[in-house]
């Protein structure tokens, strides 16, 4: 058992390689959860050394402790309120001046800080020679060169953490930046007032809080509420701010930032030498093409088209193999297990339901593989820039493309990704339209019906559904902008990271986590749903009538069951869309999780299959249904695309934007789905399709 548990916060600017370094340190020993009270994803991993257990917390990217977006607020609040034992500031070695701005703020917190000079190999390739020993002495912060993807420097970083963890509380001094005599004479009275309340002074570092008050940080002023002299401190801070503004002729926040950057610039000039100026930059060369004002959007559309075409092309054969495996397994179990409820439960309920969903795992793996490569290589940021002008015309922020792209995988992380948006209005609109992006859970439904009724153009039909979802999301954003969420989108400012070769380990972890989530859902929610659907399709039992053949008995038993009775009750609502009672039942079950629609079809279309009949795949079984024609299949694909997302996504949405907006979303999407599908079906029927 370890003698002591030390929490280590892994912090840093976005795109500094923080998560890659986290994976290199913790290996497979990490878990994913949420921060207390919020739904931002939290990665936490452990490492044991020298009788201690180090728990590493991978914080969201942050530029400053003056936070604006919600993920930045989460990182700041974790450091201030949870008070980790050590902070590892992951620095992009290719852009030290900007990254060290945050490091200086960490120093003022009185918590041991270690700087990980990450991407040091890229810095050297660009001609930067960093004397990390001299820079460390200048700043008073231990610095270690690291290369996250290769695991270089991890042992040295852990040694530095060992040393920092062994320091006694209060022994952290460092070389705190001095902001100049004019500002220091205003800081000192504030510090003395803050430390006058000893209990409050133990809660927040006096110097850090005093600096933040001069920076007009609203959160810092709110944190004064617990101080006995809060009113006096606030009045003194506002007077100091007025003096600085008048003395320098600039905003005090700008003056403090300039002092930090001036200190950083001097330290970097003393410790970094540029030994050569690279004549060739791969990033700049590639960006001249794919970020061209005329080519950027077409390139983005082509990339998406290529990803989905490759997904369906590469996934077709393994998907067929899994279908045949489950068909074979069903046949074997039918021959082994005696006829009765147990066999029906296992074969029709579990294998028919869960097996149908698991057959689509290859598609999920391939899709997440390509999306992970796009993210790791650095293209996702460029996608935001490429679509910014288009999104602005629909009232969206350029950064909304991140949640929308993630929506192709899963709505839950896509909704969480909206936290990077600083404007509440932009964030709410993005959350509301994200479920219209066809997620991985909807993909099996689309592929099943496209392969069954449009075998010659299955891939194109699925891409069409994805395109319709993206188009609807933009039109809905325009509608929300003009009605319930009027206003102008905020300006879009974002850095473009250099292109980097994705690592096999990084891509593997991304794919594994998302695929495991899908498979886990198949073993829990979908398994339970499949058993429930089997039960309502099997009970109450039906007594065959004289003269019925096996097919008639199966059909009558299904209509006699609870599922059949429920389906006939709700059928009038869905009949104008071309849906019979079976499709109506599948539609309703899809509200729990979209994958359940496939398991529902698997049970509904295989219940009562005669033992003498040759085993057939689910696609063949659905194709044989006279009521399920190509037009109806297409309309059902549209309906599945539009109806409210799964319970997990709705719960996440509630935590992000509140229950009022969730109720609005459910009503809006159901009405939109019904009206659009009604229009498409009736138009198609009149046109003779």
Q: Are residues 304 and 264 in the same domain?
A: no
The answer to whether the CB of 274 falls within 8 A of the CB of 127 is: yes
CA triple 615-616-620, angle to 5 deg: 165
Enumerate the β-bridge partners of residue 6: 54
pLDDT digits (tens, 9 = 90+) for 360-414: 788 878 888 888 888 778 787 787 777 777 887 887 877 787 788 778 877 877 8
Report the run of H or E that residue 119 belongs to, with start and end.
none
The answer to whether the CB of 459 falls within 8 A of the CB of 312 is: yes
Identify the band that residue 40 occupies on the pLDDT scale cut at 50, 70 and 90: low
**Domain boundary residue, one of 115, 135, 166:** 166
pLDDT digits (tens, 9 = 90+) for 184-241: 899 988 988 888 877 776 788 888 899 999 999 888 888 888 788 888 989 999 999 9
Neighbours of 156 (CB within 10 A): 14
Q: Of the segments 24-33, 541-550, 658-667, which one has the largest average pLDDT value?
A: 658-667
Q: Are residues 13 and 36 in the same domain?
A: yes
**Mean local confidence (pLDDT), 90-114:** 91
The answer as to whether 173 is a domain residue is: no
Identify the band that residue 34 occupies on the pLDDT scale cut at 50, 70 and 90: very low
> Which tokens sit at 589?
């079950």
In this structure, which long-range contacts are made by residues 293-297, counting pairs with CB atoms below 8 Å and at least 24 apart in sequence? 296/382, 296/385, 296/386, 297/386, 297/387, 297/390
The predicted structure's pLDDT at residue 32: 47
Q: Are residues 375 and 469 in the same domain?
A: yes
The predicted structure's pLDDT at residue 334: 85
Going from the C-alpha of 193 to that of each of 232, 238, 244, the distances in angstroms are 8, 14, 19
Q: Of the segments 168-177, 312-321, 573-582, which one has the largest average pLDDT value?
A: 573-582
The answer to whether the CB of 364 falls within 8 A of the CB of 459 is: no
In this prediction the pTM is: 0.67
**Domain boundary residue, one of 142, 166, 190:** 166
**Gap between the Cα atoms of 12 and 87, Å rounded:** 10
- Crossing angle of helices 132-139 and 252-271, rounded to 10°: 140
Q: For the chain, give the percent of residues with pLDDT over 70.
A: 90
Identify the band that residue 578 occupies on the pLDDT scale cut at 50, 70 and 90: very high
Identify the band that residue 28 occupies on the pLDDT scale cut at 50, 70 and 90: low
Identify the band that residue 435 occupies on the pLDDT scale cut at 50, 70 and 90: very high
Q: Where are the alpha helices (DSSP H) in 595-646?
A: 595-604, 618-623, 630-642
The answer to whether the CB of 88 falls within 8 A of the CB of 157 is: yes
Determine the number of helices (DSSP H) and then strands (DSSP E) in the chain.
33, 9
Of 2-6, 156-160, 490-494, 633-637, the poorest mean pLDDT is in 490-494
Q: What is the 3-state secondary structure (H, E, C) of 528-589?
A: HHHHHHHHHHHCCCCCCCCCCCHHHHHHHHHHHCHHHHHHHHHHHHHHHHCCCHHHHHHHHH
Domain that holds residue 246: 181-274
pLDDT digits (tens, 9 = 90+) for 234-271: 999 999 999 999 988 889 999 998 899 888 988 888 88
Going from the C-alpha of 22 to that of each of 404, 419, 500, 542, 626, the distances in angstroms are 26, 21, 17, 59, 55
The predicted structure's pLDDT at residue 67: 76
**Mean local confidence (pLDDT), 427-443:** 89
> Which tokens sit at 683?
């138009």
**Gap between the Cα atoms of 89 and 143, Å rounded:** 9
Domain with 211 in it: what CATH number?
A: 1.10.287.1770
The predicted structure's pLDDT at residue 614: 37
622: three-class secondary structure by DSSP: helix
Q: Where are the alpha helices (DSSP H) in 400-485?
A: 401-406, 411-417, 424-433, 443-453, 458-482
The predicted structure's pLDDT at residue 99: 92
Report the run of H or E that residue 9 belongs to, with start and end.
strand 4-12
More confident residue, 551 or 273: 273
The answer as to whether 142 is a domain residue is: yes
Closest CA to 6 of 90, 82, 115: 82
Q: Before 674, cis peptide (omega within 30)?
A: no
Q: Are residues 25 and 111 in the same domain?
A: yes
The answer as to whether 280 is a domain residue is: no
**Domain boundary residue, one of 136, 166, 196:** 166
More confident residue, 305 or 513: 305
More confident residue, 655 or 470: 470
Enumerate the β-bridge partners of residue 441: none
Tracing tokens 């390509």 back to the chain, one arrives at 370
**pLDDT surpasses 50 at 46:** yes
**pLDDT surpasses 60 at 301:** yes
The predicted structure's pLDDT at residue 608: 39
More confident residue, 522 or 602: 602
Q: Are residues 266 and 302 in the same domain?
A: no
The answer as to whether 536 is a domain residue is: yes
Domain with 147 in it: what CATH number?
A: 3.40.50.300
The predicted structure's pLDDT at residue 250: 87
**Mean local confidence (pLDDT), 15-35:** 70
**pLDDT surpasses 50 at 612:** no
The predicted structure's pLDDT at residue 613: 36
Q: Of the segments 30-39, 503-512, 581-590, 631-640, which one has the largest average pLDDT value?
A: 631-640
**pLDDT surpasses 90 at 548:** no
**Gap between the Cα atoms of 13 and 46, Å rounded:** 22
- Indicate the average pLDDT of the chain: 82
Q: Of the segments 130-134, 364-368, 565-569, which one has the largest average pLDDT value?
A: 130-134
Integer distance in angstroms from the first to the last C-alpha of the chain?
A: 70
Q: What is the 3-state secondary structure (H, E, C) of 211-255?
A: HHHHCCCHHHHHHHHHCCCHHHHHHHHHHHHHHHHHHHCCCHHHH
> Which tokens sit at 457?
């153009």
How many domains does the chain contain in total?
3
Identify the band that residue 576 occupies on the pLDDT scale cut at 50, 70 and 90: very high
Q: Are residues 185 and 151 in the same domain?
A: no
The predicted structure's pLDDT at residue 3: 59
Enumerate the β-bridge partners of residue 86: 8
The answer as to whether 515 is a domain residue is: no
**pLDDT surpasses 70 at 29:** no
The answer as to whether 162 is a domain residue is: yes
Cβ-Cβ contacts under 8 Å for 274 (sequence gap 6 or more): 127, 128, 129
**Mean local confidence (pLDDT), 101-123:** 91
The predicted structure's pLDDT at residue 1: 43
Sign of CA dihedral 71, 76, 81, 83: positive
Q: Are residues 150 and 260 in the same domain?
A: no
**pLDDT surpasses 60 at 280:** no
Identify the band that residue 674 occupies on the pLDDT scale cut at 50, 70 and 90: very high
Of 65-74, 83-92, 162-171, 392-401, the poorest mean pLDDT is in 162-171
Q: Are residues 355 and 450 in the same domain?
A: yes
The predicted structure's pLDDT at residue 483: 87
What's phi and psi for 549, nearest 5 deg? Answer: -90, 175
Q: Are residues 46 and 22 in the same domain?
A: yes
Identify the band that residue 61 occupies on the pLDDT scale cut at 50, 70 and 90: confident
The answer as to whether 202 is a domain residue is: yes
Q: Are residues 159 and 215 in the same domain?
A: no
pLDDT digits (tens, 9 = 90+) for 525-546: 777 777 787 787 778 877 777 7
pLDDT digits (tens, 9 = 90+) for 492-512: 555 666 777 777 777 887 788
The predicted structure's pLDDT at residue 522: 67
The answer as to whether 677 is a domain residue is: yes
**Gap between the Cα atoms of 176 and 184, Å rounded:** 12
Residues recorded for the chain: 689
Q: Are residues 356 and 432 in the same domain?
A: yes
DSSP β-ladder status, 41-49 and 113-118: unpaired
128: three-class secondary structure by DSSP: strand
Q: Are residues 221 and 350 in the same domain?
A: no
The predicted structure's pLDDT at residue 7: 92
The answer to whether the CB of 401 falls within 8 A of the CB of 421 is: no
> Which tokens sit at 57?
């917390």
Tracing tokens 């993206």 back to the chain, one arrives at 470
């Amino acid at each position: 058992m370890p003698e002591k548990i030390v929490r280590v916060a892994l912090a840093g600017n976005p795109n500094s390689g923080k998560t890659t370094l986290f994976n290199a340190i913790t290996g497979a020993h990490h878990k994913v959860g949420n921060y207390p009270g919020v739904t931002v994803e939290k990665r936490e991993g452990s490492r044991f050394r020298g009788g201690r257990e180090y728990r590493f917390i991978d914080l969201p990217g942050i530029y400053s402790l003056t936070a604006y977006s919600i993920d930045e607020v989460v990182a700041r609040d974790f450091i201030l309120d949870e008070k980790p034992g050590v902070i590892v500031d992951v620095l992009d070695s290719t852009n030290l001046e900007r990254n060290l701005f945050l490091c200086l703020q960490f120093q003022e917190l009185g918590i041991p800080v270690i700087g990980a000079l990450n991407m040091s190999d890229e810095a050297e390739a660009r001609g930067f020679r960093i004397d990390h020993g001299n820079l460390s002495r200048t700043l008073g912060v231990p610095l270690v060169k690291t290369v996250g993807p290769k695991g270089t420097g991890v042992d040295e970083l852990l040694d530095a953490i060992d040393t920092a963890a062994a320091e006694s509380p209060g022994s952290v001094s460092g070389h705190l930046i001095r902001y100049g005599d004019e500002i220091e004479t205003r800081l000192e009275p504030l510090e003395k007032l803050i430390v006058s309340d000893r209990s409050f002074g133990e809660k927040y570092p006096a110097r850090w809080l005093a600096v933040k008050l001069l920076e007009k940080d609203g959160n810092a002023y709110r944190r004064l509420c617990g101080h006995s002299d809060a009113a006096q401190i606030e009045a003194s801070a506002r007077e100091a701010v007025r003096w600085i503004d008048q003395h320098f002729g600039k905003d005090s926040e700008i003056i403090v930032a300039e002092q930090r950057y001036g200190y950083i610039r001097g330290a970097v000039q003393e410790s970094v030498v540029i030994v050569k100026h690279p004549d060739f930059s791969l990033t700049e060369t590639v960006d001249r093409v794919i970020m061209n004002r005329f080519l950027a959007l077409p390139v983005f559309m082509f990339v998406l088209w290529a990803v989905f075409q490759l997904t369906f092309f590469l996934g077709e054969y393994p998907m067929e193999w899994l279908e045949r495996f489950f068909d074979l397994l069903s046949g074997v179990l039918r021959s082994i297990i005696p006829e009765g409820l147990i066999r029906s439960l296992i074969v029709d309920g579990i294998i028919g339901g869960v097996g149908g969903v698991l057959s689509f795992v290859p598609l999920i793996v391939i899709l997440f593989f390509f999306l992970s490569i796009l993210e790791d290589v650095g293209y996702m940021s460029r996608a935001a820039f490429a679509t910014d002008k288009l999104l602005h015309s629909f009232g969206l922020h350029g950064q909304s493309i991140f949640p929308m792209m993630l929506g192709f995988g899963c709505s839950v992380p896509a909704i969480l990704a909206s936290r990077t948006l600083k404007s509440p209005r932009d964030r709410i609109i993005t959350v509301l339209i994200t479920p219209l992006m066809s997620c991985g859970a909807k993909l099996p439904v689309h592929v099943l019906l496209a392969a069954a009724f449009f075998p010659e153009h299955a891939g194109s039909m699925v891409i069409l559904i994805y395109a319709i979802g993206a188009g609807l999301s933009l039109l809905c954003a325009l509608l929300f902008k003009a009605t319930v969420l009027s206003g102008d989108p905020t300006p879009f400012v974002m850095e473009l990271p250099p292109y980097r070769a994705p690592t096999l380990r990084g891509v593997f972890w991304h794919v594994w986590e998302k695929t495991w989530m899908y498979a886990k859902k198949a073993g829990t929610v979908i398994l339970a749903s499949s058993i429930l659907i089997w039960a309502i399709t099997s009970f109450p039992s039906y007594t065959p009538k004289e003269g019925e053949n096996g097919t008639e008995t199966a059909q009558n038993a299904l209509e006699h069951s609870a599922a059949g009775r429920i389906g006939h009750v709700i059928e009038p609502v869905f009949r104008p869309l071309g849906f019979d009672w079976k499709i109506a039942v599948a539609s309703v079950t899809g509200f729990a999780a979209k994958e359940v629609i496939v398991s529902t079809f698997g049970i509904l279309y295989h219940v009562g299959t005669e033992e003498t009949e040759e085993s057939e795949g689910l696609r063949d079984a659905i194709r044989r249904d006279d009521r399920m024609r190509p037009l109806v299949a297409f309309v059902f694909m549209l309906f599945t695309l539009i109806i409210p997302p799964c319970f997990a996504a709705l719960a996440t949405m509630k935590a992000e934007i509140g229950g009022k907006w969730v109720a609005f979303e459910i009503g809006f999407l159901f009405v939109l789905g019904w009206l659009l599908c009604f229009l498409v079906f009736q138009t198609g029927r009149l046109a003779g399709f």
